[in-house]
Chain A
């Protein structure tokens, strides 16, 4: 009986779902890839590492080996009284202070996500980065702010979900509307 079930549930079920999904929802089934000039540059759902001042940065990432390692997801799993976690957050804060950011910092800007692949940042963290990106790209802050606004998702029906900014989509919009100088 166990062999019959293995055939039905282990082979039949996933293959049937794969077949239907591939036929009806090919884009999602293949990972919601986004492309620039026809070449995939990532998944709209998965965050990627941005370090250049020309781009908006995502949250710190604790994935193995490199940040935003899409082949090995995970968080720090450090506890609330961890000295190591305190030092990591402190280092992030120092970096932001060095870059000229003042005032209380949004929590998502200095903490890493559970997956290490969080594609989003809070609108508050995006706002903090507008001045830097505008300066490097030599355009007005209003232009950048308008793009941030356009890339911000609000809760559905006013309460389902959190306000958030997809970093990859925002950076793609930046590249598209303000070509590199």
Chain B
């Protein structure tokens, strides 16, 4: 670790804090139905959308109607994307002439993009046409992000309102999130990306004759526009196979900053939006503080583990000065690869600028553990906020048990129904992750896909199901996941992680919205204080740790110890 490295990390998190308030305030105004500076330009477009699709914007929905609208919209998105991938050969903009995507891969990919996971069982530049990338994947990059934002806003209203029967209108929230937040930011970020060197062209790949006279084919396409929304929507699915490690997706230190800040921007600002809408900005900042603590500590652990290098390689004659460089790019170095790894897994982004599978045991443990904590650090756009609120409910419940009072969160009593639903949501993660990992560890057809032997093999499986269920999308790339078994079970994991989590969460929102808002009394446990931040962080750590520590001990932890002992497989 170096001072220069830490300065780069400090600048990153400093810049991330700057955008929270303006963006958070803007979103609060937008979702409360107030006029914003974009209303004159986008208002007519918004109303046109409602008119053409028959949405009654003034009609609010209860939690069940909201949930059903969300599910119907996502189902339609899934079916359209699946059809597009299967019919790719007959659709336009296919300069490389790629054929239809296989059924299991098309299912996996469609689920992956609709659930905001962006797990990539396919290689971008070797499988998908420009049309599939643009009209298929890019569209879902926007809409899955907007779906998450809508859900988060609905949950926010449950706390903002007292004795209310409705949570807002899904179609309106989703449309506003897309038109006023994601689209304008995406255009700005995409153009900044082009200025930094990302290609943006409809041409196919270009073949050049290199200095040594060999032929090199450079895969290109509308990369900048997809990269922008991939990060802003915390999607993470790259245009190219190597994702943001590829120089065309991330050519230099500045594009790397813009990549990370784009992922952090909206999802962190939503916590401020929450504080603003419920009338307690300090609550928003309490969540942001918890998140930043985790991200900075996580970055530090990865940075330390990776800079120390791999003793097995050092013994062969490698200078440990640069650290473990396998799977990393020279232009990012250890500090900014570590920061990217922590942020992309703390958020459910899943883009990578280095290969997590080649990290040391501890370096790979942090990304895996961050995902297993439920994608709340700060999580995907929107999904992070409602995930964090579920943890906040658990935290006040534990606090309530300690003092023997009915727990309250922001003036809402937390009772049996909310607790049951919160536990149901929380248990989805270990069910899918550990259930499928254990099954795969026993099935020969699943084990055939492993490239790592010893503990790394288990890590590859565990990482895959963790990433899918947490809707992250990053991978330990050694696993050959493009097989019917993995495409299907990972697809199911993604669906469970997204919708089996979101529906109970909306049910909690409905139940909370209906309760009266009670004024805080002397006995109320304040939830915007450092004490609460500490309690919340402990709850997140303890729940995640208890659920997953045994599995992690057999994978990355034992691998790190074996690495230090010089053992190879």
Distance between Cα atoms of A116 and B354 in the complex (Å): 11
Q: Tell which of B178, B319, B456 touches A5, judged by Cβ atoms closer than 8 Å.
A: B178
**Does B225 sit at the interface, judged by CB under 8 A?**
yes
Binary B-proximity of A10-53 (CB < 8 A = 1, otherwise 0): 11011011101110110011111100100111110111111110
CB distance from B345 to the nearest CB of A (A): 16
**Does B4 sit at the interface, judged by CB under 8 A?**
yes
Query: Which chain B residues (210-242) contact chain A, with CB distance < 8 Å?
Result: 210-212, 214, 216-220, 222, 224-226, 228-229, 240-242
**Does A175 sit at the interface, judged by CB under 8 A?**
yes
**Does B359 sit at the interface, judged by CB under 8 A?**
yes
**Does B499 sit at the interface, judged by CB under 8 A?**
no
With A80-B310, A81-B567 as given contacts, are A18 and B138 in contact (CB-CB < 8 Å)?
no
Q: Tell which of B203, B251, B324, B455 touches A81, judged by Cβ atoms closer than 8 Å.
A: B455
CB distance from B133 to the nearest CB of A (A): 9
Binary B-proximity of A100-118 (CB < 8 A = 1, otherwise 0): 0001111110111111111
Residues of B within 8 A of A81 (CB): 312, 361, 452, 454-456, 559, 562-563, 567-569
Are A117 and B242 within 8 A (Cβ)?
Answer: yes
Are B216 and A48 within 8 A (Cβ)?
Answer: yes
Distance between Cα atoms of A180 and B364 in the complex (Å): 47
Distance between Cα atoms of A79 and B562 in the complex (Å): 12
Of B21-29, B290-298, B330-338, B500-508, the one contacting chain A is B330-338
Are A45 and B201 within 8 A (Cβ)?
Answer: no
CB distance from B382 to the nearest CB of A (A): 17
CB distance from A118 to the nearest CB of B (A): 5
Binary B-proximity of A144-181 (CB < 8 A = 1, otherwise 0): 00000000000110111110100010011001000000
**Does B323 sit at the interface, judged by CB under 8 A?**
yes
Of B190-198, B402-410, B432-440, B546-554, the one contacting chain A is B190-198
Q: Tell which of A107, A114, A172 touches B322, judged by Cβ atoms closer than 8 Å.
A: A107
**Does A69 sit at the interface, judged by CB under 8 A?**
yes
Are B247 and A45 within 8 A (Cβ)?
Answer: yes
Residues of A within 8 A of B400 (CB): none
Residues of A within 8 A of B320 (CB): 104, 107
Nearest A-chain residue to B456, judged by Cβ: A79
Are A49 and B331 within 8 A (Cβ)?
Answer: no
Binary A-proximity of B316-359 (CB < 8 A = 1, otherwise 0): 11111111111111111100000000000000000011110111
Are B330 and A93 within 8 A (Cβ)?
Answer: no
Nearest A-chain residue to B131, judged by Cβ: A10
**Does A82 sit at the interface, judged by CB under 8 A?**
yes
Residues of A within 8 A of B195 (CB): 25, 28
**Does A99 sit at the interface, judged by CB under 8 A?**
no
What is the total of A-B residue contacts with beta carbons within 8 Å? 360
Nearest A-chain residue to B135, judged by Cβ: A10
**Does A143 sit at the interface, judged by CB under 8 A?**
no
Residues of A within 8 A of B326 (CB): 75-76, 78, 80, 85, 89, 111-112
Are A104 and B319 within 8 A (Cβ)?
Answer: yes
**Does A142 sit at the interface, judged by CB under 8 A?**
no
Binary A-proximity of B164-181 (CB < 8 A = 1, otherwise 0): 000000010001001000
Q: Output the residue of B206, B257, B331 with the most chain A CB within 10 A.
A: B331
Q: Output the residue of A36, A70, A104, A162 with the most chain B CB within 10 A.
A: A70
Are B253 and A160 within 8 A (Cβ)?
Answer: yes
**Does B55 sit at the interface, judged by CB under 8 A?**
yes
**Does B471 sit at the interface, judged by CB under 8 A?**
no
CB distance from B152 to the nearest CB of A (A): 19
CB distance from A78 to the nearest CB of B (A): 6
Distance between Cα atoms of A72 and B123 in the complex (Å): 8
**Does A138 sit at the interface, judged by CB under 8 A?**
no
Are A42 and B559 within 8 A (Cβ)?
Answer: no
**Does A124 sit at the interface, judged by CB under 8 A?**
yes
CB distance from A97 to the nearest CB of B (A): 8
**Does A140 sit at the interface, judged by CB under 8 A?**
no
Q: Tell which of A10, A70, A85, A110 touches B138, judged by Cβ atoms closer than 8 Å.
A: A10
**Does B115 sit at the interface, judged by CB under 8 A?**
no
**Does B451 sit at the interface, judged by CB under 8 A?**
yes
Q: Tell which of A1, A31, A50, A107 touches B206, judged by Cβ atoms closer than 8 Å.
A: A31
Query: Which chain A residues (49-103) contact chain B, with CB distance < 8 Å?
Result: 49-52, 55, 59, 68-83, 85-86, 89-90, 93, 97, 103
Query: Which chain B residues (63-119) contact chain A, with CB distance < 8 Å?
Result: 73, 76-77, 80
Are A17 and B252 within 8 A (Cβ)?
Answer: no
Residues of A within 8 A of B210 (CB): 41-42, 48-49
**Does B469 sit at the interface, judged by CB under 8 A?**
no
Q: Tell which of A4, A39, A51, A85 touches B49, judged by Cβ atoms closer than 8 Å.
A: A4
Q: Tell which of B80, B139, B478 touches A79, judged by Cβ atoms closer than 8 Å.
A: B478
Are A114 and B134 within 8 A (Cβ)?
Answer: no
Residues of A within 8 A of B451 (CB): 77-78
Nearest A-chain residue to B255, judged by Cβ: A45
Distance between Cα atoms of A13 and B142 in the complex (Å): 11
CB distance from B254 to the nearest CB of A (A): 7
Nearest A-chain residue to B559, judged by Cβ: A81
Residues of A within 8 A of B142 (CB): 5, 9
Interface, chain A (partner B; CB < 8 A) = 1-2, 4-6, 8-11, 13-14, 16-18, 20-22, 24-25, 28-33, 36, 39-43, 45-52, 55, 59, 68-83, 85-86, 89-90, 93, 97, 103-108, 110-122, 124, 155-156, 158-162, 164, 168, 171-172, 175
Extra pairs beyond A83-B569, A114-B354 (9, CB < 8 Å)? A2-B143, A4-B49, A6-B80, A29-B200, A41-B210, A50-B211, A114-B352, A120-B330, A159-B7
- Name 26 A/B residue pairs within 8 A (Cβ), A-sorted: A2-B80, A9-B183, A18-B222, A22-B201, A29-B201, A30-B201, A31-B199, A31-B201, A41-B209, A72-B125, A73-B125, A76-B326, A77-B357, A77-B477, A79-B456, A80-B563, A81-B562, A83-B568, A107-B321, A107-B323, A114-B328, A114-B329, A118-B330, A124-B321, A155-B4, A171-B211
